C-alpha cells in the first residue's frame, strides 16, 4: 500500500471514531504519545537504533545499578494474579522490560511476569516506561499500544499503525554482553486510558511481534 493511501485510510478511520485526524496521529487516541525519541521508525517499522546504546542516542542511558533499582521498584507497582498484573488508581506506573535476564528471548516483562495481561482502570493516567535489557544486532525494542489483535505479520507496524500510545522508534540494545558491565536505554510515554476495551502492547521492530513479543492490555470500567 502506498504511504499516502495508508495515511488517507487511517485518517478516515480516526474521523469515523469521532476524533480529529491530525490530533490522533500526533497524540494517539488514548493519550499524549510522549516519549518519542530519535528518528521516526517509518511506516514499515525500520529504525535507526539497531546499535548498542550510547550517550546521545536520543533518550536516557542507565547504568546496571540504576536498572536494578528500576526492577526492584517495578515489583511494587500493581498486583500479580497468575499471568495478570492489575493496577488500581487514577495515576499508575507500568515499568516494563524488554527481555529481562532469565526470561525467554523476544518477550516483555512487567512485575517479573513474561508477556502478562495488564489491567488498568478506565480514565487512569498511565505512565509506561521501557528499559531494553536485550543484547545483539536487531535487538532494539519499542512498544505500540493498539487495538489491533494478533497474529502479527513481519511488519506489525502495518497492522498497529501509530497506535494509541507508543514508545518509538524502538530503543537500542545494551552496550555490553556482560549485563553487569553494560549501559541500558530507557524511554517512556504517558497516556490516558479513556476507553474501556481490549488493547495490545506490541514490539514494532520488524519480525519481533510475529515471534511473540506482545501482550494484552485491558482497560476496565468507565
pLDDT digits 0-9 by tens, 167-197: 999 999 999 999 999 999 999 999 999 999 9
Write out pLDDT tens, residues 95-129: 999 999 999 999 999 999 999 999 999 999 999 99
Q: Place 46 in a pLDDT band, splitting at 50, 70 and 90.
A: very low
Percent of the chain with pLDDT over 70: 78
CATH number of 27-220: 2.60.40.420
Average pLDDT of 46-52? 77
All three cell numbers of 112? 517479573
pLDDT at 159: 95
Are 106 and 208 contacting, i.e. CB atoms less than 8 angstroms apart?
yes
- Residue 34, pLDDT > 50, answer no
What is the average pLDDT score of the chain?
83
Compare 30 and 203 and report the one with higher pLDDT: 203
Write out pLDDT tens, residues 115-164: 999 999 999 999 999 999 999 999 999 999 999 999 999 999 999 998 98
pLDDT at 49: 82
The DSSP letter of residue 210 is: G
In the chain, domain spans: 27-220
User: In whole angstroms, what is the distance from residue 165 CA to residue 160 CA?
Assistant: 11
- Residue 22, pLDDT > 70, answer no
Q: Place 16 in a pLDDT band, splitting at 50, 70 and 90.
A: very low
Q: Three-state SS across 110-126?
A: ECCEECCEEEEECCCEE
All three cell numbers of 30? 488514548
pLDDT at 222: 62
Amino acid at each position: 500500500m502506498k504511504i499516502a493511501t495508508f495515511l488517507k485510510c487511517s485518517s478516515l478511520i480516526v474521523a469515523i471514531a469521532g476524533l480529529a485526524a491530525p490530533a490522533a496521529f500526533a497524540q494517539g487516541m488514548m493519550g499524549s504519545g510522549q516519549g518519542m525519541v530519535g528518528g521516526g521508525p517509518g511506516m514499515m517499522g525500520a529504525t535507526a537504533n539497531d546499535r548498542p546504546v550510547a550517550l546521545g542516542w536520543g533518550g536516557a542511558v542507565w547504568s546496571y545499578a540504576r536498572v536494578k533499582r528500576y526492577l526492584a521498584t517495578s515489583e511494587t507497582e500493581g498486583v500479580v494474579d497468575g499471568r495478570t498484573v492489575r493496577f488500581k488508581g487514577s495515576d499508575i506506573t507500568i515499568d516494563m522490560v524488554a527481555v529481562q535476564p532469565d526470561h525467554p528471548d523476544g518477550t516483555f516483562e512487567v512485575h517479573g511476569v513474561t508477556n502478562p495481561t495488564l489491567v488498568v482502570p478506565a480514565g487512569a493516567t498511565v505512565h509506561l516506561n521501557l528499559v531494553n535489557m536485550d543484547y545483539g544486532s536487531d535487538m532494539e525494542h519499542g512498544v505500540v499500544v493498539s487495538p489491533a489483535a494478533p497474529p502479527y505479520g513481519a511488519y506489525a507496524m502495518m497492522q498497529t499503525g501509530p497506535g494509541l500510545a507508543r514508545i518509538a522508534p524502538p530503543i537500542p540494545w545494551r552496550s555490553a554482553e556482560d549485563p553487569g558491565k553494560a549501559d541500558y536505554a530507557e524511554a517512556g510515554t504517558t497516556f490516558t486510558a479513556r476507553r474501556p476495551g481490549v488493547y495490545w502492547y506490541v514490539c514494532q521492530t520488524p519480525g519481533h511481534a510475529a515471534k511473540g513479543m506482545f501482550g494484552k492490555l485491558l482497560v476496565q470500567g468507565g
